[in-house]
Amino acid sequence: MTENPNDLDQPEERVPRRVIGTPPPRGDDSVLGTRPATDEPIVYEGAKFPDPVTARRGERVAALLFLVSFIAAVAFIVSYVAFQVGTIDRTQVSNLALGASLTVALLSLAAGVVVWVRQIMPKYSLVQERHPMSSPREVREEVEKTFLQGADESGFVRHKLLRRTLLLAAAPLGLLPLVLLKDLGPLPGTSLRHTVWKKGRRLLVEGTSQPIRAADFNSPGGILSIVPDGYENNLNALAKATLILIKFRPEDLKPGTKLNWTYDSIVAYSKICTHVGCPAALYEQTTHHILCPCHQSTFDAADGAKVIFGPAARPLPQLPIGVDGEGYLIAQSDFDVPVGPSFWERGDAEAEARGQA
């Protein structure tokens, strides 16, 4: 080559003209060792070439597909520049343009390669021998010998003290990473047994964060999702303290509901399902069913939210409520049992609560 690689107008006799895309002439070194000394024809054993007509047709089809792919790839770049995002509709157009061009580019390239393989490359029936995976006997024996020899040289077997202290040293090392993980989080303590509800805390309507008067929540069959005052955006608090508030006709309430924890036939239950903690909030006012959409545990809201179907084992805990001086609904205390899913240390908190009452 000349020193100036950009010099395209070289005399023809020095560098033969080449069509773009054809491979350059080989150099002096062959890819694997030296160049074959003679021009031995390559023997294609087990390969059957397609007839030239098929191959030519295949070439045309593949070339067409490659061309389509090229155009689609260019269209992708054009689409990237031409279509901006920033609104739903513009994003839709951009996604469609980029995606469709990418899809066409990839699929027609794939199809072209398949046509190439199927119509231009030969059909093969090559056979190769398999050998058993295991090593020959002599090799195994030699490895065994080497292993024993090495073990002997190392003195690991003979020197007992060395061996035992080494094992001793290694034992606790595996524990270190586990110890390091301790600070991932605090210990649970009794935090799972309490929520942020306490006497006098107002009930706020989720979504509006407004307190609510008992007198305003006056349509039987009504339901509201409730968050605690002061914690309406605190997800950790909401994960345990969210309530559903249901207004009943007085005659609909059944003995399972603690009547002195209600106010004017308004009942508050924990919204957190006692199965695995989804918000159980599908309320049917005709049947008083509360259904959890995750695993379909169903609770009877009129009867202390006792379980009538599904995998939940315990009723939704009821929160004692009342009103303050201005008539707004407030909590009378925290829940008397832990809310949400069961855990190992929970025990039969319901029985304990009954015992205290």
Using CB under 8 A, which residues numbered 230 to 249 contact other proteins? 233, 235-236, 238-240, 242, 246-247
> Residues 15, 55, 61, 281: which binds other proteins (CB under 8 A)?
281
Q: Is 78 in the site for other proteins (CB under 8 A)?
A: no
Name the residue nearer to other proteins (CB basis): 70 or 156: 70
Q: Is 3 in the site for other proteins (CB under 8 A)?
A: no
Q: Which residues are CB-neighbours of 229 under 8 A, at least 6 positions away?
A: 201, 202, 203, 204, 211
> Residues 61, 68, 100, 261: which binds other proteins (CB under 8 A)?
100
Q: Tell me the sheet residues that pair with 213.
A: 328
Q: Is 153 in the site for other proteins (CB under 8 A)?
A: no
Question: Interface with other proteins by CB under 8 A: which range of 138-146, 156-164, 272-280, 319-327?
Answer: 272-280
| Per-residue tokens: 54 | 């098929």
> Residues 21, 86, 172, 174: which binds other proteins (CB under 8 A)?
86
In order of 143, 227, 282, 295, 337, the CA distances from 278 in angstroms are 59, 15, 11, 9, 18
Q: How many residues of this chain interact with other proteins, rule: CB under 8 A?
A: 129
Name the residue nearer to other proteins (CB basis): 154 or 209: 209
Residue with tokens 């002997």: 152
Amino acid residing at 280: A
Count of other CB atoms within 10 angstroms of residue 272: 26
DSSP state at residue 119: H
**H or E element, residue 307:** strand 306-309
Question: Interface with other proteins by CB under 8 A: which range of 139-147, 158-166, 256-264, 312-320?
Answer: 312-320
**Rg (alpha carbons) of the chain, rounded to whole number:** 39
Question: Interface with other proteins by CB under 8 A: which range of 33-41, 141-149, 153-161, 258-266?
Answer: 33-41
Touching other proteins, residues 320-349 (CB under 8 A): 340-348
Name the residue nearer to other proteins (CB basis): 233 or 260: 233
Q: Is 54 in the site for other proteins (CB under 8 A)?
A: yes
Question: Residues 272, 192: contact at Cβ < 8 Å?
Answer: no
